[in-house]
Amino acid sequence: MPEHRDGRAVSKGAASPEAAAWKGPTYYGRSQLKPSPFNAWVVGGYIFLAGLSGASAVVSTVAEAVQGERGASIGRKGRYLSMLAPLVGAPLLILDLHTPTRFYNMWRIVKRTSPMSLGTWILTAFIGGAGVAVVAQLGVDLLGLKWLKRIARLGSAPAAITGAGISTYTAALLAATSAPYWAADEKGLGVRFASSSIAAGSAALALGEKSRSTRRTLNAITGIALLTELVATAVHHKNVKAKGVGASLESEWAHIEEAAVLGLGVLLPLGLYVASRRLGDRKRAGAVSDLASLAVMAGSAMLRVSTIRIGQDSASRPEVSLRFSQPENLPKKRRA
């Protein structure tokens, strides 16, 4: 006799191992949720590029404002990096929507309660500011029109403001779904995405940087962001377990996250940054710093991919989704 929804009558071998871990009722050993249809690599790539572009716009604009002409090279590099999200990230997002008009239709309204609606308009505003800045910068670099420098810097300001938004809004976008792992700790996920974005943006700006003092400053910003991400990850995992979603941290992709994100993307770069500061040879120190920057960006990208896969897995596992759906585990705003 199959398992009933009240959990009382169970035939031998009817319930799945996942359902057996949940002591309450199930529906024939199945979860009540369907995993999101996102392609983790495509959407994860968009989220990563949005974070890197937005954060590089923030860091480079602040550096240029504080240092003036000494920060001009960083401002220039940041303007070009800011175009990664519009030119590469946005097409990835539209590709995963399957129907391109879905993205177009998001411009029809502005809905304050919809992270996707707000995110669309934040991305649009970012593209506008970054676009003006990079076109002006191209005029300076290709045509020698130095008077365009001022316009390039003015365009960088709104790009930096909206860049902070596109670096983090994707966490709210994921948390607004029913996937237990994403919804369990929205603020914690947001802090992880924000710190990872700042780390990736600063690391990208430091790549190939010839000025040793500038490179060290950018590496210091990256290091602080990585330490913040490390602490935020520990707090996030604690909160997820407190909400009854701890089993999702035992999945295959959770272990991949430990190795690829924390190992490759956080601990290894921190060690390399320390090593680069101790090297007297500027060329070798620069090479070690560049290697650390590449590791940071790889870890930042894998954070997005692994977060999506862990969330999808949490939705498909009854012992996670059913436990999270209990009133004591739901966020206050979702309780009836």
Share of the chain above pLDDT 70, in %: 85
- Among residues 98, 89, 99, 95, the alpha carbon closest in space to that of 119 is found at 89
Cβ contacts of 132 within 8 Å, gap of 6 or more: 151, 154, 155
pLDDT, tens digit, 9 for 90 and up, residues 1-44: 344 343 433 433 343 444 444 455 566 667 777 788 888 898 89
Q: Where are the domains of the chain?
A: 35-176, 179-330
Residue 30 pairs with which residues in a beta bridge? 27
Q: What amino acid is encoded at 14 in this protein?
A: A
Provide DSSP, 219-244. HHHHHHHHHHHHHHHHHHHHHHHHTT
Q: What is the mean pLDDT of residues 247-254?
A: 89
The whole-model pTM stands at 0.84
- Among residues 64, 61, 173, the alpha carbon closest in space to that of 126 is found at 61
Q: What is the pLDDT of residue 101?
A: 67
Residue 44, Cα to own-chain centre: how many angstroms?
Answer: 8
Q: What is the pLDDT of residue 181?
A: 93
Q: What is the pLDDT of residue 14?
A: 40
Share of the chain above pLDDT 90, in %: 46
Give CA–CA dist 232/189, Å, rounded.
8
Cβ atoms 132, 96 nearer than 8 A: no
Distances (CA, A) of 158 to 64, 127, 222: 14, 10, 23
What token pair was written down for 16? 């799945």
Give CA–CA dist 16/306, Å, rounded.
25
